């Protein structure tokens, strides 16, 4: 099959059909033209309206390829299969181009910089395709998420091999590599959501510098170790409200609990009302936006409570700012580990809520980024993009742990997560010293 080019021509010429009648073109040429038009239509529709709003009828109408030909062209019969086919083209194109740039260089740092530049160029040159892969894919179901995880692993392997080929032979921990790729993805995703891709042009050098901060063997001695919970005792604010008989909070807790056990897609007004022991009329009065409004508010409140506890934990520590940062981080890991309902919502079910859920997820990660900058303090100025990348890195390794049904093991990652936070601020050696001092 001919390859699809994510860098497509201008919109007015993108969906132009081939001349009708006897044009003398080979069947393969006609099919390739149709595939390109269908690909461009999927990218346009999903980037503009979201995966949930795309239909095969729209794809056929926009691409000007009859819907009856879609199974013949792609062996696909469903909306999901059509989207996955387009996603595969985007991912393969990005990986191939990045790999090509990477292999063209001899020096390890030049490899990293060149590959990074090509990746960012892909995003800036075709933001609609980037949005499909880095935003909408997470609303398209487990198969799309698995594809994006596989793509991330390709970039992680590239990064680890680059560091291993440096004169220092740095052995980058697998979770550190995962965190770096996750942090970069987080920054790009946020710029796409905010419509601020131009910021990436000025932030690319800072992201490369952040990545290079982990070029050190200082963390080689760090291993999984179950850290102590530094969190001050006390019930969550949501739990207190429920105990006081707050109907709204009972509904929020019921929605969160049910979604975590049975999935967001199965939430209904009747189910949540029954679980909360209130009437459906009460639910509709309190949440006129339905189950989506209830779910998103539950997510927001639970996430805000985690951020509140983390900030309170950091303030309770007597010591220099690195120790406050570590205490806050460890508090977050412990809180997620002890609350499987929030863990499931934060790392799995939030994607099922579509663009609104992804926006809430971004808000929560951003709140932790703000907390990190405030705890580092004015004596350690931290660029916003660096704090975003660091928190994105932590969120990525937490995501992997939760989705592998190992949520209870999050506290064991405290030292490695601490290194992700402190190494860009202190350097590898000093970061490890602070981590060991915190023990």
For residues 293 and 408, membership in a common domain is answered with yes
Alpha carbons 153 and 142: distance in angstroms, whole number: 16
Nearest of 268, 123, 109 to residue 185 by alpha carbon: 123
Total count of domains within the chain: 3
Same domain, 238 and 319: yes
Domain-located, residue 6: no
Helix (H), strand (E), coil (C) string for the chain: CCCCCCCCCCHHHHCCCCCCCCCCCCHHHHHHHHHHHHHHHHHHHHHHHCHHHCCHHHHHHHHCCCHHHHHHHHCCCCHHHHHHHHHHHHHHHHHHHHHHHHHCCCCHHHHHHHHHHHHHHHHHHCHHHHHHHHCHHHHCCHHHHHHHHHHHHHHHHHHHHHHHCCCCCCCCCHHHHHHHHHHHHHHHHHHHHHCCCHHHHHHHHHHHHHHHCCCCCHHHHCCCCCCCCCCCCCCCHHHHHHHCCCHHHHHHHHHHHHHHHHCHHHCCHHHHHHHHCCCHHHHHHHCCCHHHHHHHHHHHHHHHHHHHHHHHHHHCCCCCHHHHHHHHHHHHHHHHHHCHHHHHHHHCHHHHHHHHHHHHHHHHHHHHHHHHHHHHCCCCCCCHHHHHHHHHHHHHHHHHHHHCCCHHHHHHHHHHHHHHHHHHHHCHHHHHHHHHHHC
Query: What pLDDT band is residue 2 in, cutting at 50, 70 and 90?
Result: very low
| b/e burial code for range 396-407 (CB count within 10 A of at least 16 → b) | bbbbbbbbeeeb
Domain that holds residue 161: 91-219
Residue 183 has pLDDT above 90, yes or no: yes
Mean pLDDT of the chain: 87
CA dist., res. 426 & res. 419, Å (int): 10
Position 4 in a domain = no
Rounded to an integer, the average pLDDT of 177-197 is 94
Q: What is the chain's length?
A: 439
CA distance linking residue 278 with residue 281, whole number of Å: 8
CA distance from start to end of the chain: 56
Same domain, 337 and 421: yes
Instruction: Find out whether 418 and 225 touch, Cβ atoms under 8 Å.
Output: no
Structure-block tokens of residue 304? 């805000």
> In terms of pLDDT, which residue wins out, 237 or 262?
262
Looking at the predicted structure, is the pLDDT value of residue 85 above 50?
A: yes
Tell me whether residue 2 is in a domain. no
Q: Which of 174, 191, 219 is the last residue of a domain?
A: 219
**Which residues lie closer than 8 Å to 314 by C-beta, 6 or more apart?**
324, 325, 327, 328, 331, 371, 375
Residues 191 and 315 in one domain: no
Last residue of a domain, one of 81, 106, 125: 81
- What confidence category does residue 9 fall into, taking pLDDT thresholds of 50, 70 and 90? very low
Q: For 265-277, how does the pLDDT look when each residue is reduced to its tens digit (9 = 90+)?
A: 999 999 999 999 9
Question: Do the domain assignments include residue 192?
Answer: yes
How far is 124 from 102, CA to CA, in rounded Å? 19
Buried b (16+ CB within 10 A) or exposed e, 257-274: bbbbeeebeebebebbbe
pLDDT at 151: 94
In a domain, 86, yes or no: no
Residues 6+ apart with CB under 8 A from 43: 6, 8, 86, 90, 128, 129, 132
In a domain, 5, yes or no: no
Residues 387 and 336 in one domain: yes
Q: Read off the pLDDT of each residue in 394-416 and give the average, rounded to a whole number.
A: 93
* 206-250 confidence digits (pLDDT tens): 999 999 999 999 988 887 788 888 887 665 555 555 556 689 989
Confidence of residue 428 (pLDDT cuts 50, 70, 90): very high
Closest Cα to residue 214, out of 407, 390, 401? Answer: 390
Tell me the average pLDDT across 193-198: 90
Nearest to 86 by CA among 116, 121, 56: 56
Q: Can you tell me the mean pLDDT for 82-89?
A: 92
In this prediction, residues 332-346 reach a mean pLDDT of 92
pLDDT at res. 276: 93
Q: What is the pLDDT of residues 296-334, one digit of tens each?
A: 999 999 999 999 999 999 998 888 899 999 999 999 999
CATH number at 252 reads 1.10.357.10
pLDDT tens for residues 355-368?
889 889 999 999 99
Domain-embedded: residue 1: no
Per-residue pLDDT band for 25 (boundaries 50, 70, 90) equals low
- Determine the Cα–Cα distance for residues 429 and 82; give it in Å rounded to an integer: 49
Residue 62: which CATH number? Answer: 1.10.10
User: d(Cα 47, Cα 41) in Å, to the nearest integer?
Assistant: 10
How confident is the model at residue 5, as a pLDDT?
58
Quick: pLDDT tens for 89-129. 999 999 999 999 988 999 999 999 999 999 999 999 999 99
Q: What does the pLDDT read at residue 12?
A: 44
The CATH code of the domain that includes 177 is: 1.10.357
pLDDT confidence bin for 13, thresholds 50/70/90: very low
Say what percent of the chain tops pLDDT 90.
67
More confident residue, 281 or 234: 281
pLDDT for 138 equals 87
């Amino acid at each position: 099959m001919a390859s699809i080019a994510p860098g497509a021509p201008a919109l007015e010429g993108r969906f132009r059909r081939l001349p009708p009648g006897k044009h003398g073109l080979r069947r393969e040429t006609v099919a390739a033209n149709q595939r390109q038009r269908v690909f461009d239509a999927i990218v346009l529709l999903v980037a503009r309206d979201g995966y949930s709003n795309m239909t095969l009828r729209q794809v056929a109408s926009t691409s000007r390829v009859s819907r009856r030909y879609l199974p013949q062209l792609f062996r696909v019969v469903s909306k999901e299969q059509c989207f996955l086919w387009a996603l595969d083209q985007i991912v393969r194109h990005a990986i191939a181009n990045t790999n090509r740039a990477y292999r063209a260089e001899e020096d390890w740092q030049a490899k990293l910089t060149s590959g990074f530049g090509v990746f960012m160029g892909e995003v800036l040159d075709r933001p609609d395709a980037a949005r499909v892969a880095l935003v909408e894919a997470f609303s398209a179901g487990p198969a799309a998420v698995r594809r994006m995880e596989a793509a991330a692993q390709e970039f992680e392997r590239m990064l680890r091999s680059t560091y291993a080929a440096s004169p220092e032979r740095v052995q980058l921990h697998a979770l550190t590599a995962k965190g770096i790729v996750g942090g970069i993805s987080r920054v790009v995703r946020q710029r796409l959501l905010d419509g601020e891709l131009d910021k990436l042009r000025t932030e690319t050098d800072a992201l490369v510098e952040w990545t290079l901060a982990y070029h050190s063997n200082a963390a080689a001695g760090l291993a999984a170790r179950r850290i102590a919970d530094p969190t001050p005792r006390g019930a969550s604010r949501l739990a207190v409200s429920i105990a006081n008989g707050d109907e709204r909070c009972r509904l929020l807790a019921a929605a969160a609990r049910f979604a975590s056990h049975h999935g967001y897609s199965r939430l209904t007004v009747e189910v949540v009302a029954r679980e909360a022991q209130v009437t459906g009329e009460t639910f509709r009065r309190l949440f006129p936006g339905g189950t989506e409004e209830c779910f998103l508010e539950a997510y927001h409140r639970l996430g805000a409570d985690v951020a509140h506890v983390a900030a309170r934990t950091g303030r309770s520590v007597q010591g220099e700012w690195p120790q406050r940062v570590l205490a806050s981080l460890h508090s977050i890991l412990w809180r997620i580990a002890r609350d499987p309902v929030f863990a499931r919502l934060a790392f799995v079910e939030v994607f099922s809520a579509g663009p609104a859920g992804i926006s809430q997820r971004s808000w929560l990660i951003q709140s932790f980024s703000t907390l990190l900058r405030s705890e580092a303090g004015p004596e350690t100025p931290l660029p916003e993009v660096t704090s975003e990348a660091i928190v994105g890195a932590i969120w990525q390794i937490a995501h992997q742990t939760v989705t592998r049904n190992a949520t209870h093991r999050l506290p064991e990652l405290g030292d490695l997560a601490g290194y992700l936070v402190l190494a860009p601020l202190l350097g590898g050696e000093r970061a490890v010293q602070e981590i060991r001092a915190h023990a």
